[in-house]
Amino acid sequence: MKIVPNNFREINFRALKLEIWIWILVGIVLFFIAKHWDTHAFSWIDSHFRCSSLDTWIVFLTEKAIWWILGIFGIITLWRTWNSEDNESRLLPAFFSILIAAITAAILKSWFDVPRPFLELGLTPLVQQRIFNSSGLPSLHTAVTFAALVPLWRIHKAIGIGWALFALLIGISRVYENVHWPSDIVGGLFLGGTIGAVISKKETVLALKLAWQQLEFRRQSLHFFAGFLIVFSHWIGVLRLREIAVLLLIGLITCWLTARGNLPWLANFLRQFDRPRAYDFPGSGAFYFLLGTGLVILFFPVKIAYAAILILAVGDSFNNLFAERLPKSVNLPWNRRKSITGVALGILAGTFAAQFFVPLYAAFLASCVAIGVESYPWRLGKFFVDDNIIVPLAAGAVLFLLV
C-alpha cells in the first residue's frame, strides 16, 4: 500500500535537486556544442542525406506521425487511469510532462525570439510553420518528445531506450526540415528532459498526491491546463466556435443525465472537481469555463480572446488556489473567502500569461479588472454568477478598449 505523507516537510527533495543540477550541467555543455554546429549542420545534411523520398518521410514523421503517437499515448494513459482501482497509472507522469513541456516551450519561444534558420540562411523550409513569430528556441517537437523520456525510462529501460531513439529522430528531423538550429533542438531536449525528470521523480509524485487531496488544487489544475489546451486547439484550427457549441450541447445533456442519477459513475468523477454547491449541476465548472471561453472567442479579436482566456486559466487559478493558504494574509473586506495576497498573485500571474498576446500595460490593467471583479460574489437572486464567465468577459472588454 502506497503511503502519502501528511505534509510537504516529510518529503526529502535532495535527490530531486541533484538530478536537476545534472540536467542543467549537461544542457549547458550540449548547448555550446550545438552552437558550434548551427552554421555547418545544413550544408552537411544537404551534401550527405538530402533526397526527395527522405523529405516525404521526414515531413510525415514530424507533421502527422508524432501527433498520432502522442494522441494514442494520451488515450491509453487516460484509459488505464480510468480503469485502475485508485485512478492512478505509471503513465501519468509522462502525460503531464508532455503537457507542461508544450506550454513552457510555447512561452519560452516568445522570450528568446530566435529567428529560424530558413530565414537567416535563405533556405527552403519543408513544412509550413504555424507560429505567431519566427522564434525557434526551444523546439516544441523536441521538448514534448523528450518530456516523456525519463518517465518512460523509469517504467522500463527498454521502453525508455526506444522512446529516446524516437525523440532523437524527431529532433534531427526538425534540423533536416530547415526549421530549427541544432541549438534549438538541444534547448527542447533540456527543457523536456528536465520537466520529465522532475515530474516523474518519486518525491514530486508524493508532493502532487498530497496536493491532489485538496479540492481547490484539483479544480484549478484542471482549469489551468484547459485554458492552454483551448488556446492551442483554437490556434491550430481544431477547436472553433462550431466545435465549442457542440461540446456545450453535449455537456448540457450529460450534466442533465448525471443530475437525474442516470450516470452515477460520471457523477462520482465530477464530484472530484465540483464544489458542494454545484452538486445539483454536475460538471458546471467545466461547462461555464467552456462557455466563457467560447463567448470571448465570439465577441473579441483572436489575440484579445487568447489573452482573456489565459487571464482566466492562470490568473483566476492562482487567485483561488492561494486565496486562503498563505500565512498572515489579510482577507478582502467584501469577501472573507478571498485574500489580498491571493488577488495580487492572480493579477501578476494573469498579466504574465496575457502579455504574450497583448501589450504588458494592457495585460496588467485587464488582469486587475478581471480578478477584482471576480473577487466580489455576484448573485442574481439565489443564483451565483460563475466567475468562469465574468473573468474572461471583463478581461476581454478591457483589452478591447485598450488595444
All residues at 6 or more sequence positions from 73 whose CB lies less than 8 Å from its CB, including other chains = 91, 94, 95, 98, 148
| Mean of pLDDT values over 375-391 | 73
Q: For residue 349, what is its C-alpha cell? A: 500571474
CB 373 within 8 A of CB 390: yes
> What's the domain range around 111?
8-210
In eight-state DSSP terms, residue 135 is B
pLDDT tens per residue, range 290-341? 888 889 999 999 889 999 999 988 887 877 766 555 555 666 666 666 777 7
**Structurally, how many domains does the chain consist of?**
2
Average pLDDT, the chain: 81
pLDDT tens per residue, range 175-211? 898 888 899 999 999 999 999 988 888 878 777 777 6
258 and 205 in a common domain: no
CB 117 within 8 A of CB 178: yes
CB 143 within 8 A of CB 118: no
361 and 289 in a common domain: yes
Strands (E), 196-301: none
| Mean of pLDDT values over 236-254 | 81
Matching residue, cell 542543467: 24
Which amino acid does the sequence have at 216?
E
pLDDT of residue 151: 92
62 and 50 in a common domain: yes
90 and 204 in a common domain: yes
pLDDT of residue 147: 94
pLDDT of residue 396: 92
Task: Name the packing angle between helices 157-176 and 140-147 (round to 10°).
Answer: 180
In a domain, 153, yes or no: yes
238 and 145 in a common domain: no
In a domain, 2, yes or no: no
All residues at 6 or more sequence positions from 320 whose CB lies less than 8 Å from its CB, including other chains = 216, 219, 220, 342, 346
In a domain, 269, yes or no: yes
221 and 204 in a common domain: no
Count of other CB atoms within 10 angstroms of residue 18: 10
All residues at 6 or more sequence positions from 233 whose CB lies less than 8 Å from its CB, including other chains = 239
pLDDT tens per residue, range 117-170? 888 887 788 887 654 445 778 898 999 999 999 999 999 999 999 999 999 999
| Mean of pLDDT values over 276-289 | 71
174 and 27 in a common domain: yes
